[in-house]
Structure 1
């Protein structure tokens, strides 16, 4: 922890972490707020699911595009525009009398305009710290983001169920404005300029570490989403036990990230961390007792944030600085698709098997594939133990006048 204290004393680091967590807090509130509101207005969970799907599609499509725009027009302009449009779309969802098609349209707009905060902050980090601090910073970031998934669903559920679903969406809009405003106005956002990328959109995925980070992120988040379905199916919708068990899962990730964040990242780091996740998830299939599930998921969680930290580090270390935002945008898209796939597959298996074991099986299979991919393609993963994990500098040819 002394290392993290030193890290947080570095000028700008503490402010950036706090601002980006606040700006991203609505991401942990919006889906549940939309689900509760649309279901209440239409009386159909199916309709609410369609609206959430439209929102997720928008987020998946926009991630790489808006991240790349930051190198063209600057971070502040892109973040301000997307935050403004997203806020208006969320308010429209809450305040306008819409049919299902209207909800889907504004959900799609909200998804397409989701501010690329993750891409921005992970592009800024290498400019705030020296190379030896970058890996611990990514680990701290991956760990602290669990706070969002612990607190945000509780907050939005309380507001939406005790006050109203419209008020819940208004709260999402307020936090979005305040959080993004804090982040956008931070001095570091104004000081860091992303060079314009000279490569075509998507070319960064041809770099093996970036492609692997996107694929493994898909699998890790897919496993986590399947777990969520399994826990809700185990304890039934609205049960306090479900929230507690999922909170323990997130706490395990927080503890793991803080405990293992100082460990140097070698080619086998991803496989080792995903083995921890796989073992913990496999134990969930032994019994469905709340205490057993809590312990198994805490163990699984110990590997989640450290695995995500590896993803962030290998992405940064494998691209030019001008490509970092787009690379993180693709990684975010992979994770969003993984979340949708994990939830869908787990849901079908729960219905097909007649019990939550199907969801836990889906989570284990996602994790096993993640370990397998990490082992098969280990040669493509960079060794950062004795290497600067910062992005490569952008260089341009210099014109020379003949003498």
Structure 2
């Protein structure tokens, strides 16, 4: 399984690649609003309406808007290029934020914040998806490219974790409306910074049709999207069960520490995964991570009668979840043609977000009636079912060196990444 350890050399190679550091920085800045705006919109809606239910709807609308917006931006980027689409989305997010805090006091309708929140979610620029494509173009060596995907995932996770902390500081210093504005301005600034980089400006979408392997890779991409949507459902179940466990076993404040523990596991596993050269295919690695996640969430369900046991169990959940996300991203190099790579990545993230929203909704009912332990057990069973489905359909995920692979090689040749 393990061919050789390459320490941190893969990360060094990525960071030394000309033209990648500034867009990578812009990507991190662009991920901060994802951790800021959900909480900011919830608190702002509560301040305006006095209802936590409306605040929850505003947060959900933001997430759904983000899913739809990413998918739309991916299609547009693969047609018109990165700078125009990313910059326009970031500007729209900032303008909608200004419109929201300016007009909300004048509009006597509770749903206004919900609708505006959905618009801000749709305007979050697809910097992470665009960065994923630049890594595939500019980092030619396979092992270093996988390290790049791992680095991107780790930095994204760190940014999403930092977002709520920034929101907390803004709430203390100002208020929720300033936090909403800050999230919109950060999205806009990151989009303009990314769009102005040479790597983004010189990247060109590829015109033309997919090679003869397209039908086969299309089936593999459909299987991958199915698995990612299912993984999102399980993540949504865990996201509901963890605060429910904190409320049952301790206090609401413990939920933040529990979530941070799982995120720490993801970060550590992501760094380790990218620092190692693997002999197994990315399809097999993803399935192994799915199996590990099912066992880890099941262990969390067993341990969820004690906070002391739940912390290490959730750390293990994070350790298993990190490699799965990176392997899924790396699979796109095989399953999606270069001409649709941005669209494929943003679609993959979008279906995960939609699955997460479904998991939130269903698990809220389950946790409310049965408790947090059955909710976690449900998430574990769901992951086990996904592992079985993925194993049965693995041949579609791992097409091997056929026409599809050669088609990807041919498409990469004329690409201009800068």
Do Structure 1 and Structure 2 share a fold, with TM-score over 0.5? Answer: yes
| Counterparts of residues 205-244 of structure 1 (less than 5 Å) | 207-236=218-247, 239-244=252-257
Matched residue of 2:335: which SS? coil
Deviates more, 1:386-395 or 1:34-43: 386-395
> In structure 2, which of residues 113, 117, 133 is the aligned counterpart of residue 103 of structure 1?
113
Alignment of 1:272 with 2:279, yes or no, is: no
Deviation of 1:83 after TM superposition, in Å, equals 0.9
Question: Aligned equivalents of 2:150 and 2:174: distance in 1?
Answer: 37
CA change 1:75–1:238 in 2 (3 A) is: farther
Question: Aligned equivalents of 2:406 and 2:40: distance in 1?
Answer: 38
1:315 — aligned with what?
332
Contact 2:93/2:188, CA 8 A, preserved across alignment? no
Superposed CA RMSD: 2.8
> In structure 1, which of residues 153, 169, 189 is the aligned counterpart of residue 180 of structure 2?
169
> In structure 2, which of residues 96, 104, 129 is the aligned counterpart of residue 119 of structure 1?
129
Structure 2: runs of 5 or more not aligned:
1-6, 414-418
Deviation of 1:250 after TM superposition, in Å, equals 0.5
Contact 2:216/2:396, CA 8 A, preserved across alignment? no
CA change 1:26–1:395 in 2 (3 A) is: closer
Q: Deviations over 1:293-334 (max 9, x none)?
A: 111111111121211111111112222211101111211211
Matched residue of 1:242: which SS? helix
Question: Aligned equivalents of 2:87 and 2:202: distance in 1?
Answer: 16
> In structure 2, which of residues 279, 295, 300 is the aligned counterpart of residue 284 of structure 1?
300
Q: Give the structure-2-normalised TM-score.
A: 0.86
Deviation of 1:51 after TM superposition, in Å, equals 2.6
Deviation of 1:20 after TM superposition, in Å, equals 0.7
Q: Deviations over 1:84-124 (max 9, x none)?
A: 11111122223322322322332232233332222211111
1:247 — aligned with what?
260
2:158 — aligned with what?
147
Q: Deviations over 1:43-89 (max 9, x none)?
A: 11222233333333333333222211113322111111111111111
Question: Aligned equivalents of 1:325 and 1:275: distance in 2?
Answer: 28
How many residue pairs get matched? Answer: 392
Question: Aligned equivalents of 2:406 and 2:272: distance in 1?
Answer: 20
Question: Aligned equivalents of 2:79 and 2:401: distance in 1?
Answer: 33
Structure 1: runs of 5 or more not aligned:
397-403
Deviation of 1:345 after TM superposition, in Å, equals 1.6
Question: Aligned equivalents of 1:198 and 1:42: distance in 2?
Answer: 51
Deviation of 1:172 after TM superposition, in Å, equals 0.6
Q: Give the structure-1-normalised TM-score.
A: 0.89
Deviation of 1:198 after TM superposition, in Å, equals 5.3
